[in-house]
Amino acid sequence: MRLDKYLANMGVGSRSEVKNYIRWHKVLVNGKPPKGPEQKIDEEKDVIVFAGREIGYQKNYYIMLHKPAGVITATEDRKDKTVLDFIDLPIKKQLFPVGRLDKDTEGLLILTNDGQLSHNLLSPKKHVSKVYYAKIEGKVTIEDVEKFREGLQIEEDFTALPAELTIVKEDEISEVEIKIYEGKFHQVKRMFEAVGKRVLYLKRLSMGGLALDENLAAGEYRELTEEEVLLLQEKGNSSTRG
Ligand code: URA
């Protein structure tokens, strides 16, 4: 692995920050200054030191879980089943969920031990998109779509960012898809409450452009591919919406 990639992955700084640290001779590989950021290192064997501190190798894991309803998004709980109870991997204890889905919400949940990625994806500044499918009590109308697009006032001190609401079925129980760029507590439910409607069913379909794998039944999980991890890292590093 390239030295700059290793240091960035271990959370020392962004790729451009660590390049500077290497140029400023703050990094040693096996006691010697490296040739440059592109120098290849063996993460299992080489001793990497940054600013006098050894940067040990910790592999990052990225899991996509199809969260079922009825379990809580936490690492442990005395009473309820948690999302970690579905994971049967030796590194399970290192994992934590990226953000939170309500107990009754289903769908895409990412679990990782990569604190930096998690922090970036959840940062309000990054505007990472989340798409949900929902069933709503009552008829969702074009007027609702317009209100969501303008940015709904939820509480006196909280106006939601503009959201893209698509009506899939307009009926006594409507079906919709909604794309939001923030993740406040009960956000989707509160947005519908603000237009006098109630969410009956909620499922997250995607996050940062990463879609829930349709082959995963509720309760099943798989590791993300390298491309999927890169996609999330790009979303977490950029500040544009997406
Ligand atoms: N919005 C909600 O209201 N609940 C969730 O679980 C996720 C988004």
| Through-space distance between the first and last CA atoms of the chain, rounded to whole angstroms | 29
Higher pLDDT, 9 or 92: 92
pLDDT band at 241 (very low <50, low <70, confident <90, very high): low
Report pLDDT for 238.
Answer: 73
- pLDDT of 10 reads 84
3-state secondary structure the chain: CEHHHHHHHCCCCCHHHHHHHHHCCCEEECCECCCCCCCECCCCCCCEEECCEECCCCCCCEEEEEECCCCECCCCCCCCCEHHHHCCCCCHHHCEECCCCCCCCEEEEEEECCHHHHHHHHCCCCCCCEEEEEEEEECCCHHHHHHHHHCCEEECCEECCCCEEEEEECCCEEEEEEEECCCCCCHHHHHHHHCCCEEEEEEEEEECCEECCCCCCCCCEEECCHHHHHHHHHHHHCCCCC
Beta-carbon contacts of residue 18 (< 8 Å; ≥ 6 apart):
4, 7, 8, 12, 27, 37
Tell me the average pLDDT of the chain.
Answer: 94
User: For residue 11, is pLDDT > 70?
Assistant: yes
* pLDDT at site 242: 63
Pocket test for ligand 1, best of 178, 188, 199 (most atoms within 8 A of CB): 188
Q: What is the pLDDT, as a whole number, of residue 157? A: 87
The average pLDDT across 102-108 equals 98
Task: Determine which residue's CA is closest to atom 4 belonging to ligand 1.
Answer: 186
User: What domains lie within the chain, and their CATH numbers?
Assistant: 3-54 (3.10.290.10), 62-123+214-237 (3.30.70.580), 130-207 (3.30.70.1560)
Question: Quick one: pLDDT at residue 9?
Answer: 82
Contact 33, 27 (CB under 8 A): yes
> What integer pLDDT is reported at residue 239 of this predicted model?
59
Respond yes or no: is residue 80 known to be catalytic. no
Atom of ligand 1 minimally distant from the CA of 183: 8
Sequence-distant (6+) residues with CB within 8 A of 26 are 50, 51
Q: Which of 46, 85, 102, 213 does the annotation list as catalytic?
A: 102
The mean pLDDT of 1-28, rounded to a whole number, is 91
Q: 């959840």: which residue's tokens?
A: 122
Confidence bin at 14 (pLDDT 50/70/90)? confident
Q: Which of 202, 197, 175 is nearest to 186 (CA)?
A: 202
Of the chain, the percentage scoring pLDDT greater than 90 comes to: 84
CA 231–ligand 1 middle distance (angstroms): 23
Do 33 and 64 meet the contact criterion of CB atoms below 8 Å apart? Answer: no
The pLDDT confidence band at residue 235, using thresholds 50, 70 and 90, is confident
Expressed in angstroms and rounded, the spacing between residue 104 Cα and the centre of ligand 1 is 9
Instruction: Band the pLDDT of 3: cuts 50, 70, 90.
Output: very high
Q: What's the CA-to-centroid distance between 42 and ligand 1, angstroms?
A: 42
C-alpha to C-alpha distance for 238 and 241, rounded to whole angstroms: 8
pTM: 0.83
Q: Of the given ranges (9-23, 92-106, 170-184, 200-214), which has the lowest mean pLDDT? A: 9-23
Pocket-forming residues, ligand 1, beta carbon under 6 Å: 101-102, 105, 186-189, 202
Q: What would the pLDDT profile of 135-183 be if each residue is shown by its tens digit?
A: 999 999 999 999 999 999 998 889 999 999 999 999 999 999 999 999 9
